[in-house]
């Protein structure tokens, strides 16, 4: 079957169900919208064409703009409510040819031209005579050329290609200091009452009292030599462990510094 025959058969099938009673928007609805602001027209078309998520969905936003712009152009061109109902229906039909039938731009343009030409010869249901004159039909064809067919590839892509999701990831290396590497807070950096209550070392008298309480309320007296010997013995037991811990921390710190220097050198050489 030739392309022209295909278009004619497509038009005949659509035209059988495209009588004025089955237009996508009735004449009464069109008449009420002619005196309404564009915001109300948009709300009406949101309901009619199911574009509730047009603020977040690019496809629905494009569809809503397509229909509202077509209606508003027809209104400002002073078409009647019956003519505008047909124009909106034809807008919907042509878009359905792109969306559902994947019709080519040439075939869809021929379909539109055939539909408009038929309305120049068909009698209106309410008034005798054609629905459009020659000048009006030419204006409609010109509008479809600049609104739909000039951007036909965009509409094909909109309906038949999914959006790609791109994820951008950047790796970052963050060094976290351990509690042992953090300096103790300065006395000047906090209120005096907080420091004295929570951080200041207890007086010697308080330490003696606390020791006496732990020993059952009796504080034994020791000579200076006994205290000295006890301290030397305690230091002798603690010093090897403290020295080993200090050496281990020093080695970890040294390795961290060397690793950081290597990263800086590697970054500067790029």
Is residue 56 within 8 Å of residue 43, measured between CB atoms? no
User: Residue 137 corresponds to which tokens in the numbers above?
Assistant: 């039909």
Task: Identify the pLDDT of residue 124.
Answer: 46
Candidates 140, 132, 135, 134; CA nearest to 112 is 140
Question: What is the per-residue burial (b if ≥16 Cβ within 10 Å, else e) of 149-172?
Answer: beebeebbebeeeeeeeeeeeeee
86-142, pLDDT tens digit by residue? 999 998 999 889 888 888 889 988 998 888 888 876 544 555 567 888 898 999 999
Q: What percent of the chain has pLDDT over 90?
A: 6
Task: Identify the pLDDT of residue 24.
Answer: 80
Neighbours of 54 (CB within 10 A): 19
Q: What average pLDDT does this structure show over 60-86? A: 89
Task: Identify the pLDDT of residue 12.
Answer: 45
pTM of the predicted model, to two decimals?
0.50
Candidates 158, 122, 32; CA nearest to 85 is 32
Candidates 86, 69, 95; CA nearest to 149 is 95
Q: What average pLDDT does this structure show over 14-28? A: 60
> What confidence category does residue 73 fall into, taking pLDDT thresholds of 50, 70 and 90?
very high
CA 126 to CA 86: how far, in whole Å? 14
Using DSSP, state whether 154 is helix, strand or coil: helix
Q: What average pLDDT does this structure show over 159-176? A: 69
User: Residue 164 corresponds to which tokens in the numbers above?
Assistant: 């790609």
> What confidence category does residue 163 fall into, taking pLDDT thresholds of 50, 70 and 90?
low
Is residue 33 within 8 Å of residue 40, measured between CB atoms? yes
CA 24 to CA 22: how far, in whole Å? 6
Task: Identify the pLDDT of residue 5.
Answer: 46
Lowest mean pLDDT among 19-33, 54-68, 169-183, 214-228: 214-228
> What confidence category does residue 7 fall into, taking pLDDT thresholds of 50, 70 and 90?
very low
Query: Within its chain, how far is the Cα of 174 from the centroid?
Result: 28
Is residue 83 within 8 Å of residue 132, measured between CB atoms? yes
180-207, pLDDT tens digit by residue? 565 655 655 667 677 767 766 666 556 5
Q: What is the mean pLDDT of the chain?
A: 75
Q: Is the pLDDT of residue 18 over 60?
A: no
CA 119 to CA 151: how far, in whole Å? 25
CA 198 to CA 20: how far, in whole Å? 87
């Amino acid at each position: 079957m030739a392309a022209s025959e295909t278009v004619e058969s497509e038009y005949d099938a659509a035209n059988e169900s495209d009588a004025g009673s089955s237009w996508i928007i009735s004449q009464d609805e069109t008449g009420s919208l002619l005196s309404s602001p564009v915001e109300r027209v948009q709300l009406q078309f949101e309901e009619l064409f199911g574009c509730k998520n047009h603020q977040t969905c690019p496809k629905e936003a494009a569809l809503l703009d397509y229909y509202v712009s077509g209606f508003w152009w027809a209104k400002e061109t002073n078409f009647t409510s019956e003519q505008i109902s047909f124009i909106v229906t034809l807008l919907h039909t042509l878009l359905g040819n792109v969306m559902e039938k994947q019709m080519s731009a040439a075939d869809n343009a021929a379909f539109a031209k055939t539909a408009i030409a038929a309305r120049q010869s068909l009698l209106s249901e309410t008034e005798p005579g054609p629905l459009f004159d020659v000048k009006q039909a030419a204006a409609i064809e010109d509008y479809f050329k600049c609104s739909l067919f000039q951007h036909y590839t965009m509409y094909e892509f909109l309906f038949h290609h999914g959006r790609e999701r791109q994820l951008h990831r950047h790796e970052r290396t963050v060094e976290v200091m351990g509690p042992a590497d953090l300096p103790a807070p300065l006395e000047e950096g906090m209120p005096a009452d907080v420091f004295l209550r929570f951080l200041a070392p207890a007086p010697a008298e308080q330490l003696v009292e606390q020791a006496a309480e732990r020993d059952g309320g009796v504080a034994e007296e020791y000579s200076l030599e006994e205290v000295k010997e006890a301290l030397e013995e305690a230091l002798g037991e603690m010093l090897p462990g403290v020295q080993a811990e200090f050496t281990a921390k020093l080695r970890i710190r040294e390795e961290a510094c060397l690793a950081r220097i290597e990263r800086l050198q590697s970054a500067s050489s790029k």
